[in-house]
């Protein structure tokens, strides 16, 4: 997660943290070597070094020296991208989980050290509170099929880290950064500003409310594209050869979404941290207000991420196991007419076309589901009169029962009830439970028994 460059930097504290890191890393190496756990020693050292690199480069990136040089800024971004790619290296599951966990630990520690005592207390409480719904959701969806602890931790950590690109992009926009790559220039812009600029230039003769609604939905599509794209990348990179069935991909996609929601709840100042400051850290504590706000985000917001990314995981599973899936369909006499048409038209292998089709379908569905949820939740705040109930929205009389139904109830039923039913139905389909083996580098599928 990017470090806020506006916070004061203390050389003494940083040196203390660095010495502590080196001492702990050295002790860990000695213990691991003694026990022959070389991969965990490697993971601890690598995670420590990468986290220090991210912290240092991010801090320097927003310093005055870099801000005055678009070329240096672009170079720093490239370094971060290389480090980000290396963070998700092709190691074994346990090693990957240890690398990501170690990096997360030091980044979060550095963030907490740089905060004031009050902010640090609020953040620590927020982390503890956010872990409760995260654990409940993981236990609920992992009950369909047992996963290795290392795989669950790996994807949970990956989900937390998948918020980093969004937070980093937001920091670039807030600091009005310009990136100069010699041949071209990149100036990150706000999603809202870009959406409004596009809509105002394309839609003529429509009301201001209509323009606002279209721009709002378009900006939420951009947000969904970035967030689901980030989750897809870490899922495919971290998951790799873990997947043995479509259910595996769905479950670990959901764990990734839960990790993302956890990080969002504790990193965004308007969410759990703000609830704690507003309701718990004042002389008169309001437990009712605190629990109400936390429960709302823990259920609805988490479920939006779970449903969107879970559906994307289902289609990713279809893409990963395209070969067995197409062979089974052929044996049962099923035909994919669009696939056959594209095969005849383009001449590409059916399996390759099917994979691309499934990935694009799942990604588009995830982005759309994400955008619709954000749009429905925000709708009352942008409509004239700020309607809060269905009765307010349709203009019903004072005695109408529609005034009892909150507008927020619509996305709640759609995602919490409908989404949970849909994911349960997909998990219980026998063809999704079938263990098909691992994808090996030769793109050949082998059964589990042959590689056990």
pLDDT digits (tens, 9 = 90+) for 340-360: 777 777 777 878 888 899 999
Predicted local distance difference test score (pLDDT) of residue 1: 45
Please tell me which residue, 112 or 28, carries the higher pLDDT value: 112
Tell me: the pLDDT tens digits for 16-33?
666 566 666 655 655 555
Please tell me which residue, 371 or 411, carries the higher pLDDT value: 371
Percentage above 70 pLDDT, the chain: 86
Question: In which band, very low, low, confident or very high, does the pLDDT at 206 lie, cut at 50, 70 and 90?
Answer: confident
Q: What are phi and psi of 158, to 5 degrees?
A: -60, -40
Question: What does the alpha-carbon distance between residue 215 and residue 31 come to, in Å, rounded to a whole number?
Answer: 57
Predicted local distance difference test score (pLDDT) of residue 255: 95
Question: In which band, very low, low, confident or very high, does the pLDDT at 262 lie, cut at 50, 70 and 90?
Answer: very high
Say whether pLDDT at 334 is over 80: no
Question: What does the alpha-carbon distance between residue 318 and residue 355 come to, in Å, rounded to a whole number?
Answer: 7
Please tell me which residue, 167 or 329, carries the higher pLDDT value: 167
Predicted local distance difference test score (pLDDT) of residue 450: 42
For the chain, give the mean pLDDT: 82
Question: In which band, very low, low, confident or very high, does the pLDDT at 382 lie, cut at 50, 70 and 90?
Answer: confident
Question: In which band, very low, low, confident or very high, does the pLDDT at 36 lie, cut at 50, 70 and 90?
Answer: low
Give the predicted TM-score (pTM) of the model. Answer: 0.83
Instruction: Taking residues 112-117, report their average pLDDT.
Output: 86
Predicted local distance difference test score (pLDDT) of residue 438: 53
| DSSP bridge partners of 389 | 406
The Cα-based distances of 449 to 79, 94, 430, 437, 452 in angstroms read 42, 21, 20, 8, 5
Neighbours of 167 (CB within 10 A): 17
Tell me: the pLDDT tens digits for 175-193?
888 888 888 888 888 888 8
Question: In which band, very low, low, confident or very high, does the pLDDT at 452 lie, cut at 50, 70 and 90?
Answer: very low
Question: What does the alpha-carbon distance between residue 168 and residue 267 come to, in Å, rounded to a whole number?
Answer: 12
- Pick the range with the lowest mean pLDDT from 56-65, 72-81, 352-361: 56-65
Please tell me which residue, 11 or 334, carries the higher pLDDT value: 334
Say whether pLDDT at 154 is over 90: yes
First to last CA, the chain: 37
Predicted local distance difference test score (pLDDT) of residue 3: 47
Question: What does the alpha-carbon distance between residue 266 and residue 108 come to, in Å, rounded to a whole number?
Answer: 11
Question: What does the alpha-carbon distance between residue 360 and residue 364 come to, in Å, rounded to a whole number?
Answer: 6
Q: Are 110 and 15 in contact (CB under 8 A)?
A: no
Instruction: Taking residues 209-231, report their average pLDDT.
Output: 90
Say whether pLDDT at 413 is over 50: yes
Predicted local distance difference test score (pLDDT) of residue 27: 59
For tokens 């026990």, name the residue: 35
Question: In which band, very low, low, confident or very high, does the pLDDT at 441 lie, cut at 50, 70 and 90?
Answer: very low
Residue 332, SS3 per DSSP: coil
Predicted local distance difference test score (pLDDT) of residue 228: 95
H helix runs in 268-349, sequence order: 272-279, 287-296, 302-320, 322-331, 337-346
Please tell me which residue, 159 or 390, carries the higher pLDDT value: 159
Say whether pLDDT at 258 is over 90: yes
Predicted local distance difference test score (pLDDT) of residue 310: 94
Predicted local distance difference test score (pLDDT) of residue 430: 62
Predicted local distance difference test score (pLDDT) of residue 433: 58
Residue among 396, 419, 166 at smallest CA distance from 314: 419
Instruction: Taking residues 227-242, report their average pLDDT.
Output: 90
Predicted local distance difference test score (pLDDT) of residue 12: 55
């Amino acid at each position: 997660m990017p470090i806020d460059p506006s916070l004061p930097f203390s050389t003494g504290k940083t040196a203390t943290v660095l010495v502590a890191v080196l001492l702990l890393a050295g002790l860990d190496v000695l213990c691991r070597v003694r026990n022959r756990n070389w991969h965990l020693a490697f993971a601890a050292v690598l995670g420590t070094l990468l986290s220090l690199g991210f912290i240092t480069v991010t801090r320097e990136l927003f310093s005055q020296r870099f801000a005055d040089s678009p070329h240096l800024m672009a170079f720093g971004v490239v370094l971060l991208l290389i480090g980000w790619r290396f963070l998700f290296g092709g190691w074994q599951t346990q090693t990957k989980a240890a690398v990501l966990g170690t990096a997360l630990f030091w980044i979060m520690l550095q963030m907490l050290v740089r905060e004031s005592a009050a902010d640090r207390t609020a953040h620590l409480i927020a982390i503890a509170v956010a872990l409760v719904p995260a654990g409940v959701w993981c236990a609920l969806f992992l009950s369909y099929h047992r996963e290795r602890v290392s795989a669950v931790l790996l994807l949970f950590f990956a989900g937390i880290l998948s918020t980093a690109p969004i937070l980093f992009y937001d920091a670039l926009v807030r600091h009005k950064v310009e990136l100069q790559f010699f041949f071209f220039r990149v100036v990150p812009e706000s999603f809202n500003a870009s959406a409004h600029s596009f809509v105002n230039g394309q839609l003529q003769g429509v009301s201001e409310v209509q323009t606002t609604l279209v721009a709002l939905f378009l900006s939420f599509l951009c947000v969904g594209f970035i967030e689901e794209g980030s989750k897809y990348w870490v899922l495919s990179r971290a998951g790799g050869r873990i997947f043995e069935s479509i259910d595996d991909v769905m479950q670990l996609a959901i764990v990734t979404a839960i990790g993302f929601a956890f990080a969002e709840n504790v990193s965004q100042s308007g969410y759990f941290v703000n609830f704690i400051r507003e309701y718990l850290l004042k002389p008169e504590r309001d437990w009712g207000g605190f629990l109400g706000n936390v429960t709302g985000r823990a259920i609805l917001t988490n479920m939006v991420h779970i449903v969107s990314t879970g559906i994307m995981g289902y289609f990713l599973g279809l893409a990963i196991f395209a070969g067995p899936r197409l062979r089974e369909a052929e044996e049962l006499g099923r035909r994919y007419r669009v696939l056959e048409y594209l095969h005849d038209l383009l001449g590409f292998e059916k399996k390759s076309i099917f994979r691309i089709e499934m990935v694009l379908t799942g990604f588009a569905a995830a982005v759309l589901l994400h955008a619709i949820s954000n749009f429905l939740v925000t709708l009352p705040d942008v409509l004239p009169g700020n309607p809060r109930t269905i009765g307010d929205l349709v203009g019903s009389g004072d005695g109408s029962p529609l005034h009892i139904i909150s507008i927020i109830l619509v996305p709640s039923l759609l995602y919490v009830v409908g989404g949970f039913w849909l994911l349960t139905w997909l998990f219980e389909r026998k063809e999704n439970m079938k263990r098909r083996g691992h994808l090996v580098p030769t793109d050949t599928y082998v059964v589990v028994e042959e590689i056990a």
